[in-house]
Amino acid sequence: MLSRMMKDFRKNKFLLALTLPMVIYVFVFSYTPMFGAIVAFKRYQYNKGILGSDWVGLSNFKFLFNSPDLWRLVRNTLGYNAVFIMTSLVASVTVALLLYELTSRKLLKAYQSVMFFPHFLSWVVVAYMAYAFLNPRSGMLNHWIADIGWSPVDWYNEATAWMYILPLANIWKDIGFGAIMYYAALLGIDPAYFEAAKIDGANKWQIVRKISLPSLYPLITILTILAIGHIFSADFGLFYQLPMNSPTLLATTDVIDTYIFRALTVLGNIGMSSAAGLTKSLLGFLLVLGVNAVVKKINADNSLF
């Protein structure tokens, strides 16, 4: 066993050396800090340090699991993330397929840049752009609504509207990034397939269904599995900044992350916030394993590991 390992090691030493920087990086920044997870079970005190602080068992987890809002938090977090995963998948793949049909290089670059740009904006910036549309005093949307004779809406007090605003904003911001990845995968398909299909008289729709999409499945599954791993951690910027932290919107905008922020900014309790983070990571990890197992059952080649 050991000699086999050594042989393997010697044979691949240059390739392994290439991975070394990343291995060190992951070890230092992802694995080493995991020891810090023990503060989730401690009552952390500055003067005693992480190891010296007293153990408190699971008490740091209580504030999250005993919360009267727990149902709302889980529903919103999972619900929105599920919607986000589906909508951005459909939107990105569609856009990638459309981009692939473009023949003009110039137009292609222009579309890509325009759609990719929002990805670089921070949610804080996006929030103020939305505010310019939605605020009740000078918001553009309300001016338009008034122009066609309807009465203006105070969007930041209208909880149901945010069930649509949030996914829309998310697609707008994410679509470019996803589309580029799928577009790159499309470029990787051997053009011979497309040519053969054309010669056989397949139409565009048939080509998409029988060639393009099946070639994208591995990438789609991998990205979706990874996204499901994060399903318990909502994008804090989106849910906190975009609704401008309006208290009347919490019914539809409150997610686990914003709840933790609201509950703990005053307390600044490191133990409790670690407990919440650990819970989310653990659930995400289990989900990844679960989904991967399911994918493996259906088609082993598409699974992540």
Partner 1 sequence: MTKMKRSMTVMLALFMVVGLLLTGCSGKKEEPKNEASQADATQSNETKSNEPVTEEGSNTPTEEPVKLTWYVYSAEPKNAAAVLQKANEIIQEKINATLEFKYVNPGDYNAKMQLAMSSGEEYDIAFTASWVNSYSENANKGAYLALDDLLEKFPDLKGMLKEEIWDGARINGKIYGVPNNQIMADQPGVWLKKDLVDKYQIDPGSIKSLTDFTSVFQKIKDGEPGVSAIRFGIASAFADYYSSVVDLFAIDTKTWKVVYTPDQYTDGYKLTREWYEKGFFPQDVATLKDEASLIKAGKVFSRYSRQKPGNEAALKATNGFDVVSVVTGPAVINKGAVTSTLNAISATSKHPDKALELINLVDTNKELFNLLKFGIEGQDYTKVSDNRIEPKPDSYAMAGWMFGNEFNSYVLPGQDDNVWDQTKVLNDSAMIDPAIGFVFDRTPVENEIAQLTAINAEYLPVLSNGLEDVDKTLSALLEKRKAAGHDKVLAEVQKQLDAWRAAQQ
Name the site residues for partner 1 (rule: CB under 8 A). Answer: 4-5, 8-9, 12, 16, 19-20, 23-24, 27-28, 31-32, 43-49, 59-60, 62-63, 66-69, 131, 135-137, 154, 156-157, 244-248, 250, 254, 259, 262-264, 266-270, 272
Beta bridge partners of 55: 42
| Contact of 191 with 80, CB cutoff 8 Å | no
Instruction: Give the nearer residue to partner 1 in terms of CB position, either 23 or 82.
Output: 23
> Smallest distance, Å, CB 85 to partner 1?
27
Helix ranges (DSSP H) in the chain: 2-11, 13-26, 49-52, 62-65, 70-101, 105-116, 123-134, 140-147, 162-187, 191-199, 204-207, 213-229, 236, 250-253, 256-264, 270-298
SS3 42: strand
d(C-alpha 242, C-alpha 233), whole Å: 17
d(C-alpha 198, C-alpha 98), whole Å: 18
Instruction: Give the nearer residue to partner 1 in terms of CB position, either 113 or 248.
Output: 248
Instruction: Give the nearer residue to partner 1 in terms of CB position, either 99 or 225.
Output: 225
Instruction: Give the nearer residue to partner 1 in terms of CB position, either 43 or 119.
Output: 43
Instruction: Give the nearer residue to partner 1 in terms of CB position, either 13 or 209.
Output: 13
Q: 105-116 vs 162-187: helix axis angle to the nearest 10?
A: 140
> Smallest distance, Å, CB 282 to partner 1?
19
Q: How many CB atoms are closer than 10 A to CB 241?
A: 19
Instruction: Give the nearer residue to partner 1 in terms of CB position, either 131 or 236.
Output: 131
> Smallest distance, Å, CB 33 to partner 1?
13
> Smallest distance, Å, CB 298 to partner 1?
18
Instruction: Give the nearer residue to partner 1 in terms of CB position, either 66 or 104.
Output: 66
> Smallest distance, Å, CB 143 to partner 1?
14
Instruction: Give the nearer residue to partner 1 in terms of CB position, either 9 or 217.
Output: 9
> Smallest distance, Å, CB 231 to partner 1?
22
d(C-alpha 273, C-alpha 4), whole Å: 45
| Contact of 237 with 123, CB cutoff 8 Å | yes
End-to-end CA distance of the chain: 23
Q: What is the DSSP letter of 246?
A: -
Would strands 42-43 and 54-55 be described as parallel, antiparallel, or unpaired?
Answer: antiparallel
Q: What is the DSSP letter of 151?
A: P
> Smallest distance, Å, CB 71 to partner 1?
11
| Contact of 83 with 166, CB cutoff 8 Å | no
> Smallest distance, Å, CB 135 to partner 1?
6
